[in-house]
Amino acid sequence: MFWMGWIVLLFNFVLHFILRAYWVGLVGLSSVFPEGIKYDDLPNCSDAAKAKVRKRLPSFPDYASTLDRICSVIFAFSFALVLIYLAITLTFFVLLSLYIMIPVELRPFEPGTLFAFVSLFFIIPALGVGLLNMKWAQKIPLAVKIKDSILEVLAIFLFHVFRNPIEDISLTFTSYYSLKKNYLFMAGYFIILTFFSIALLYYANPINGKTNIRTHYHETVDSNRILSFHYDNLRGNKMISVPTIQSDILGSKDPFIKLFIPYTRRMELLLKDQCPIRKILDKEQEEDYEKYKNQASIDCISGSIDLKINGNEYPNDDFVFSTRSDKNTRGIQYYIPSNGLPDGKNTIEISADHFKENAEGAKIISIPFWFSKINKSLTTLSL
């Protein structure tokens, strides 16, 4: 979202700079040659050609005045787009901040779903306004009233503190130009902006552009790729949303691999559907519900998780419930002994029904790590 705002701003700046530079050149040229083009003194030009040129080209003052108006409109239009961008960004920032305040396990959906819902909240009413703007709808008082109410709500929630300056500019354009001209201008502008954005992203952007293509660097999430959010020492301040271990390098000072799997909202919904606790308890156990519910929960969770170390099965019920103090994230913690691990690369594979499918369509997460029986401090000294 941020990069799109910068592209719009850059595009409008470049367009305004080119036209304004042309206007400065015209003003300077008209001051040096106040009479403009002397058509009677044009060499090698017939009278018919002179007449056509005279008819096609306006005088310097008129041309400079027209160009000045175009530059002013572009500048005002650019300013309105920047304000709209800031308003929308602020709206999503506030919603995302409220979303982050909700504990991970209680979040009803992912951030991407939140973005989609909010977008639909604005897009669907906007389409309705476009429909109610048609001539047949303008003849129906109720339709006009509904349209005005939708516009009022959209303006309040979408533009809030930026509403007045945005409406000043947009209503000025609407009052001076017909809807047809406004729509044609917007369509042409966004078509040019689209080509400009594609060219900029493809050739100049260091992240997505041509200059950063790595033909043999594959993005497949498997045991041949290190993802920093799977390791406590590499993740930084990011929230814990996927399985994680303490480090990508373990040594003799790490008698256990601490594998933490967050108990997400997605996992909660799946387990509620697959194995409600009261249904998996028999009648005698159900009478003493509090006594047996913890074991029932362990059985339910372990039944949805498959854990392997270097391809070998590991007991999936050998975990404890844990709350991470750094992010206050609740989940399950495995303490996997490291004394039987070979030196070098090892891989943990976690398969769970609540995981999202990877690039290969499997619900598996691979966490590679490197282990050495030699003390890590001695290894560092030897280097």
Is position 136 within any domain? yes
Could you give the C-alpha distances from 11 to 197, 203, 205, in angstroms and in order?
A: 8, 15, 14
Is residue 383 in some structural domain? no
Is 191 part of any domain?
no
Residue range of the domain that includes 40: 2-176
Pick the more confident residue, 363 or 370. Answer: 370
Task: Tell me what pLDDT residue 286 has.
Answer: 64
| 171 and 244 assigned to the same domain | no
Specify the pLDDT at position 378: 42
Residue 216: predicted pLDDT: 63
Higher pLDDT, 254 or 195: 254
The DSSP H or E segment spanning 365 is strand 364-371
**Count of the separate structural domains present in the chain:** 2
Domain shared by 235 and 330, yes or no = yes
Residue 275 has phi, psi (to 5 degrees) of -145, 75
246 assigned to some structural domain:
yes
- pLDDT at residue 283 tops 60: yes
> Which tokens sit at 360?
């290969």
pLDDT higher than threshold 80 for residue 4 = no
pLDDT at 309 over 70: yes
Alpha carbons 22 and 16: distance in angstroms, whole number:
10
The 10s digit of each residue's pLDDT in 61-104 is: 777 888 888 888 888 888 888 888 788 788 878 888 887 787 76
Flag whether pLDDT at 284 surpasses 80.
Answer: no
Residue 167 shares a structural domain with residue 289: no
Res. 3 pLDDT band, cuts 50 70 90:
low
For residue 380, the model assigns a pLDDT of: 43
Among 176, 208, 237, the domain boundary falls at: 176
| pLDDT value at 39 more than 80 | no
Chain mean position to CA 99: 15
pLDDT beyond 70 at 372: yes
Instruction: Assess whether 233 and 352 both reside in one domain.
Output: yes
Return the pLDDT at 347.
Answer: 92
Domain presence at residue 289: yes
Burial class (CB in 10 A: 0-12, 13-18, 19+), 216: exposed
Query: What's the rounded mean pLDDT across residues 185-214?
Result: 65
Predicted confidence (pLDDT) at residue 350 exceeds the cutoff of 60: yes
Is residue 146 within 8 Å of 132, Cβ to Cβ?
yes
Whether this model's pTM surpasses 0.75? no
Instruction: Output the pLDDT for position 348.
Output: 92
341 in the same domain as 237:
yes
- The pLDDT of residue 258 is 93
Higher pLDDT, residue 57 or 267: 267
Indicate if the pLDDT at residue 296 is higher than 50. yes
Domain end position, chosen among 146, 161, 176: 176
Residue 382, pLDDT above cutoff 80: no
For residue 104, what is the DSSP state? G
Distance of CA 78 to the CA centre of its chain: 23
Residues 129/199, Cβ–Cβ less than 8 Å: no
pLDDT of 282 reads: 66
Is position 209 within any domain? Answer: no
- 97 and 242: one domain? no
Say if residue 147 is in the same domain as residue 242. no
Residue 55 confidence (pLDDT) above 50:
yes
Are 260 and 369 contained in the same domain? yes
Q: What is the mean pLDDT of the chain?
A: 78
Q: Are residues 268 and 337 in the same domain?
A: yes
Same domain, 249 and 342: yes
**Average of pLDDT values for 354-377?**
74
> Does residue 364 lie within any of the structural domains?
yes
At 246 the pLDDT is 92
Domain boundary among the residues 111, 146, 176 is at 176
What value does the mean pLDDT take over residues 253-276? 84
The residue among 295, 298, 367 whose CA lies nearest residue 332 is: 298
Q: Are residues 147 and 285 in the same domain?
A: no
Distance in angstroms (rounded) separating the CA atoms of residues 43 and 56: 18
**What's the rounded mean pLDDT across residues 284-309?**
77
pLDDT of residue 209: 44
Residue 219 counted as domain residue = no
Q: What is the pLDDT of residues 125-158, one digit of tens each?
A: 777 777 777 777 777 888 888 888 887 887 777 7
Strands 305-309 and 312-314: antiparallel
Reported as a single tens digit per residue, the pLDDT across 317-335 is 888 888 887 667 889 899 9
User: Are 140 and 266 within one domain?
Assistant: no
pLDDT beyond 70 at 381: no
CA distance linking residue 37 with residue 57, whole number of Å: 9
Question: Which pLDDT value is given to residue 215?
Answer: 59
